[in-house]
Chain A
């Protein structure tokens, strides 16, 4: 397959303006998706433009590896607070996740339930639209309501409205300590209730997951050591009514595995990511008849490992949407993204037509 690797934003604009057919936009190539057409990689457009730890602000070019950014931030005791997952684990892919890819797909991990998603941390974008025009929206400051928020629109647009060339984002301090309370031997309904109780407490829970296989609910606390100890004591009292509570002080790998759905790695079947109202997980999961499931975000994010070709959307008894994250060749007839209701689909199609009138950017990926 033909591949273009522009080395600058100007190169990128030229590649898109000169495209005569579909372009498949690629960041670090970690998603294992492939489309038709010429591959357009952003990996050559990399590097840190600006980092001001005292302003919690970072500006990087889109092709910058996430790993490089994490190392840079760790040096100042800061982090990407939205905790983007590493798709390579569950997809069994190689490649190197990029910052552009993370924002193009709005990838967030367990901490999303408390601090917000990737899109909530994105302050500004530079991108090239389907006409080959270099555009800019937002900026590098935390509060900005100047004109329409195309920053949010670009986050999660999967490159269909434009190809990101640079992102400005808000970073946050790295927590001094972390601990996890595990509530054992608890069924799905009680597990989700326990997570709701924890998230509805004043104790700043930064992770709330339930593992149906292990019949365990996990609640994460982060912050200054004394504060974490205090909150762990208080939450322990409230969680004990749901079951036996155990404190896991060394839980970094537990949350990394939840973030990356490591439990599904290497197991056959399709991987679905379903977004619902947190308490609806209780109704959704039995209806799915999945091989395995995992709940994050207090129940609001349900990961399901399904038999090949099984269409989760037909089984959804509650409002929400399902994305097919890992598909076997037998499942290729199912769309990756959840079909939108007609009036929203019309607006989305209208936006794509405006930003990419020739339909060259990842055509068909989102509808």
Chain B
């Protein structure tokens, strides 16, 4: 993975920069020691590592603004960091950058049940936002699988999703407002407790901009009342095609389940060996979950099982109680752990039109043969977001590279059938060089122009999202000007 080489002129001024930062931050908020900065050398894409020049951990919007003002003046690149759980390398440093971590900004600023909103500092973890409103039976809907650890700041940067977004939407659909600091230190308020944007939908473009437009320090989030209950049904099929047709029929029947999860045979086998959830050995498994009162759940599950029966399932298991529900989810929820036990794995994140599912799975199987690496598929089937897990051996020379090449082919395939490179993880560095497969040069240029407006010197997370060849003239001048 190519990253821009560090700017020697910036590295030479490290001491000067520390002195400036010490004037605006308490000592414990500045990490400059070569050992301690190691903690920030990577995120959850651990294949790539590079310790930053410095890391800072401000506690307020004002401190963030002060840091950015100094870095802006000094022409130092800044890489914002939430909890460091990005699977795409969104928080990977360069050696000449300052990591700006929001991990110490975890306060709940306001909860308002009448208006169904919560305002938090963005270092707060996703799950603890729901935790803060749990006593009133409310929750925050987007539920990325890293929700125990990941921060709202990162959720906003990557527009994170989760298993339940078929019904509740992703981060952008649940974000009402932000306090954001621009690279030059200007603090802006976008949106708020009211519902629609006044002028242009700046909030819409900020969400998912991977920390390249500004540092979001506070967020107003939509909270929802918890449903009365939820229950899944497990359905096994002897072919991927039939499972795909069943998903389509459920949706066409007017039922909107809260989640439809799909697992293929390699995935079922691995999960079963690991978690012993009692899954049937078949080609494809669906877990469909619905919400509501007991009667509403029973009614919807009745409709779903009637549709499923028309497709001759090899297994149909309705959860009668909480324990059976947990058992149905057990295997799916341990999918990643199960893979980890077999091998090293790489988790992909493309999205495809649901109708292309059987075709894509057949092609992935063929590619698996060509590259000589096994792959298992877990899939948010309702919205077409697939997570192929490619198994490889990190200790075997060349295996990582083969795995990456295989992954790239799968993502290109997603684009080919009308889908996209990333459904919920973000581009980061991982999919950066594939962007030109999805977008024409002009389409990329239009996105770069947005960054030109928010961050004219291209200092915020500059080496991410877009192929370096498309951004070098923009990243170049700002450094040369120093």
Residues of A within 8 A of B (CB): 52-57, 76-77, 106, 108, 112-113, 116-117, 119-120, 129, 133-137, 139-153, 155-157, 160-161, 172-176, 193, 196, 199-202, 224, 226-227, 230, 234, 275-280, 297, 300-301, 319-321, 337-338, 340-341, 343-345, 347-348, 350-351, 354-355, 366-367
Interchain CB contact under 8 A, B384 and A153: no
Contact call B351/A147, Cβ cutoff below 8 A: no
Report A-chain residues with C-beta under 8 Å of the C-beta of B208.
Answer: 145, 148-149
Contact in complex: A149, B172 (CB < 8 Å): yes
CB-CB under 8 A for A150 and B205, given A140-B418, A145-B423, A200-B114 = yes
Question: How far apart are B423's CB and chain A's nearest CB, in angstroms?
Answer: 4
Contact with A along B439-451 (1 / 0, CB 8 A): 1101110110111
Question: Could you tell me the distance between the alpha carbons of A152 and B209 in the complex, rounded to whole angstroms?
Answer: 12
The verdict on A354 contacting B353 (CB below 8 Å), with A143-B165, A173-B256, A226-B295 known, is no
Other-chain contact of B251, A54, A120, A156 (Cβ < 8 Å): A54
What are 5 A-B interface contacts by the 8 Å CB criterion? Answer: A135-B446, A139-B420, A145-B170, A148-B209, A348-B202
Q: Mark B137-169, 1 if CB is under 8 A from A, else 0.
A: 110000000000000000000110100011001
Question: Considering the complex, which residues of chain B in the window 403-441 have a beta carbon less than 8 Å from any beta carbon of chain A?
Answer: 418-427, 431, 435, 438-440
Chain B residues within an 8 Å CB radius of A137: 439, 443, 446-447
CB-CB nearest 4 A-B residue pairs: A152-B204, A54-B248, A321-B198, A173-B254
Whether the pair A56, B201 counts as a contact (CB closer than 8 A) is no
Q: How far is A149 from B208 in the complex, measured between Cα atoms in Å?
A: 7
* Cβ–Cβ < 8 Å partners of B466 in chain A: 147
Give the residue name and chain of the B residue nearest to A116 (CB): B173
Quick check: A149 and B202 within 8 Å, CB to CB?
no
**Contacts A148-B205, A156-B201, A202-B228; is A120 near B173 (CB within 8 Å)?**
yes
Docked Cα-Cα span, A145 to B423, in Å, equals 5
Distance between B32 CB and nearest chain A CB, rounded to angstroms: 32
Q: Does B318 contact A (CB under 8 A)?
A: no
B178 CB to closest chain A CB (Å) equals 12
Given A150-B447, A344-B202, the answer on whether A141 and B295 have CB atoms closer than 8 Å is no
The residue among B201, B255, B451, B452 with the most chain A CB atoms within 10 A of its own CB is B201
Are A143's CB and B383's CB within 8 A?
A: yes
CB within 8 Å of A: which B341-362 residues: 351-355
A224 / chain B contacts, CB cutoff of 8 Å = 296, 299-300
CA distance A116 to B165 in the complex (A): 13
Chain B residues whose C-beta falls within 8 Å of the C-beta of A113 in the assembled complex: 195
Contact A196/B115 with A156-B201, A224-B299 known, Cβ cut-off 8 Å? yes
Residue of B nearest to A151 (CB): B204
Q: By the criterion CB–CB under 8 Å, are B418 and A141 in contact? A: yes
With a cutoff of 8 Å between Cβ atoms, the chain B residues found around residue A140 in the complex are: 353, 418
Report yes or no: B205 in contact with A227, Cβ–Cβ below 8 A.
Answer: no
| Complex interface: chain B residues within 8 A of A152 (CB) | 172, 201, 203-205, 207
B453 at the interface (CB under 8 A from A): yes
Q: Which residue of A lies closest to B352 (CB)?
A: A141
A145, B208: Cα distance in complex, Å: 6
* Residues of B close to A348: CB separation below 8 A: 199-200, 202
B226 interface hit (Cβ, 8 Å): yes
Which residue of chain A has its CB nearest to the CB of B426? A145
B280 is an interface residue with CB less than 8 A from chain A: no
Are B194 and A150 closer than 8 Å at their CB atoms? no
Task: Determine if B380 and A143 form an interchain contact, defined as CB atoms under 8 angstroms apart.
Answer: yes
In the bound complex, residues from chain A placing their C-beta under 8 Å from that of B426 are 145
User: Is residue B196 contacting chain A, with contact meaning CB distance below 8 A?
Assistant: yes
Q: Mark out the residues of chain B between 174 and 195 whose CB falls within 8 Å of any chain A CB in the assembled complex.
A: 182, 186-190, 192-195
Contacts of A149 in B (CB 8 A): 159, 172, 204-205, 207-209
